[in-house]
Amino acid sequence: MKRLTISLQNRLALTYTLFTGFALLVLALVINISTGLIFTTLVKGNIAGETGEIIRAMGEQYNPMSRSFDAVAIEAFGMHFVHKGYIITVEDEHGGLVWDARACDMRECMTVINEIAGRMEGQFGMSGEMRQDRYPVRYAGRTVGTVTVETYGPYFYSETEGVFLASVNRLLGIAAIVLMAAIFVISIVLSRAIARPVNKSAEAARQIAQAYSGSANGKPLVIIDDHYQTKELAELARSINSLATELEEAERRQKQLTSDIAHELRTPLTCLQGDIEAMIDGVYKPDREHLESCHEEIIRLAGLVKDLNTLTSLEWESLTLNKTEFDLADLLRITAEQFKAAAFEKGIELHLRLVESPVLADYDRLKQVFINLLSNAIKYTDTGGVTVAVEKAANPGVEWEVSVADTGIGIPESDLPHIFERFYRADKSRSRGTGGAGIGLTIAAAIVRAHGGTMSAGSSGRGSVFKVAL
């Protein structure tokens, strides 16, 4: 059975709509209930006020001289209140009937009662029944009669109040429909705004997964807009762009590595092939001289393969470090001693500025690093000297900083970012014989990283300096 899926945009739109719609429904119910309670309180107050007005009006019709009520005036007032929904009966102090609305005009009374019942039950769904309340009529501190007020209960809306409440409910309904439509539109707009960068990122990721080589114009395969107001979306877009750029760079480096390895192997293999073919054809005699030449090329190939294996082990973090405690200054002093003869032969000076610097590290691997740095420094320095120094590091998380500075040919600024890449040579004119395979610094940097340190290079145009932080 195929699993039902829904797009992010539709899911967001549906979520926004349902959540906001539910919130709006709750708000509408609260408003409706609150309005109903407030309006009911107001209506009950109006009924109480009208009842009080009835009692006051009937009391004013009492004549203390004749100790009786003005029946004509009471009838006028009574029919006035009948039209408002109040059925009135007035009795004197002895219980005698003065005036009865039903007896006066039963048809009118029933018409009013039926209208009120129809309005309350039909429009507002509130069932009720007629209820009677008796109130004394007092004059000069004594009871002179009784007024019975019959109304639809527990309360009722007048025609004006019913129209007003119906209008309020209708406006609330219209407002709810308009707001729901606006919420739906806003939800679609917002969901599109959020889903668009996510969809672009997903499409970019699919393209990267299919083929992450660079485009023809040299730009990264996929670059998407990362200028979003939402922090997480902007970060996602930047991450995708960074991934595309890094993969493109990795592809470029892979191709460059293949080309460089082929180039490095071509020279010794060509020499071997030429010498062997010459000996096979009888051009060269298979004597000691030519065999030693072939042997040198084989050693060179073996050395290159060994360097590549070492680099692979370091880069894949499979190198096991044999860490011991020793003085870094002693290691540098012993290593520098090995190059004193080479420095003397070139007429340059070798300076040491060392302080006691205990470390826990792999002695042989670090010695390999400093041999490479000192070898390069002396090789590329014709005048002046080379200075090796170790000092307490100023940066947090780093204990010691070793620097190897020379006064040689220096490193062009454009080459500094690539100086630790495989097979990279700042001086392109140097051959493998004079400039090495171009992976010595790469191996040195990898060894330092394996120790949790960093390695950097700098140049001011006259000489260069390499720094190792451990």
276 in any annotated domain: no
**Region 411-420 average pLDDT:** 83
Of 190-199, 271-280, 430-439, 444-453, where does mean pLDDT reach its minimum? 430-439
Q: Of 276, 320, 306, whose CA–CA distance to 294 is shortest? A: 276
CATH assignment of the domain containing 23: 3.30.450
Chain mean pLDDT for the chain: 81
Greater confidence, 279 or 233? 279
Torsion on CA atoms 462, 420, 327, 354, rounded to nearest 10: 10
Q: From edge to edge, which strands make up the β-sheet containing 349-353?
A: 349-353, 385-392, 400-406, 464-469, 454-459
SS3 of residue 446 by DSSP:
helix
Last residue of a domain, one of 177, 204, 224: 177
- As a whole number of angstroms, the distance between CA 168 and CA 160 comes to 12
For residue 248, give Cα distances in angstroms to 81, 162, 218, 254: 91, 74, 9, 10
pLDDT at 217 over 60: no
pLDDT (tens digit, 9 = 90+) per residue, 22-70? 887 888 788 878 887 888 888 889 888 988 998 888 888 888 888 888 8
Compute the average pLDDT of residues 331-340: 92
Contact between 470 and 400 (Cβ < 8 Å): yes
In total, the chain counts a number of residues equal to 470
Residue 207 gets which letter from DSSP?
H
DSSP 122: I
Q: Is residue 383 part of a domain?
A: yes
Tell me whether residue 431 is in a domain. yes
Final residue belonging to a domain, choices 177, 202, 224: 177
Confidence check: pLDDT of 434 > 60: no
CATH number of domain containing 442? 3.30.565.10
Q: How many domains does the chain have?
A: 2
In contact, 450 and 317? CB cutoff 8 Å? yes
| Domain that includes residue 451, residue range | 319-469
**Neighbouring C-beta atoms of residue 394, cutoff 10 Å:** 7
Q: What angle do CA 129, 135, 141 make, to 5 degrees?
A: 175
pLDDT at 387: 94
69 part of a folded domain: yes
Q: Around Cβ 92, how many Cβ atoms within 10 Å?
A: 16
Q: Chain centroid to CA 236: how far?
A: 7
Query: Per the structure block, which two tokens stand in for 108?
Result: 């009118």
CA angle 74, 78, 81 (to 5 degrees): 145
Cα angle, residue 130 at apex, residues 126 and 133 outer, rounded to 5°: 125
In angstroms, the CA 372 to CA 402 distance is 14
Nearest to 310 by CA among 368, 360, 243: 368
Within a domain: residue 211?
no
CA distance 303 to 295: 12
- Residue 70 is assigned to a structural domain of this protein: yes
* Predicted pLDDT of residue 148: 92
Domain termination residue (choose one: 177, 196, 224): 177
Average pLDDT estimate for 447-465: 86
151 domain-assigned: yes
* Strand pairing report for 400-406 and 385-392: antiparallel
- The interaxial angle of helices 288-315 and 231-281, nearest 10 deg, is 170
Buried residues in 344-355 as b, exposed as e (16+ CB within 10 A): eeeebebeeebe
Mean pLDDT throughout 96-110? 87
Phi/psi for 146 (5° steps) reads: -135, 135
**Which pLDDT belongs to residue 146?**
93
Three state DSSP letters for 263-275? HHHHHHHHHHHHH
Is 75 inside a domain boundary?
A: yes
pTM: 0.46
pLDDT of residue 429: 43
* pLDDT recorded at residue 354: 93
Type of residue at 435 = G
Distance CA 54, CA 77 (A): 8
**Is the predicted pLDDT of residue 4 greater than 70, yes or no?**
no
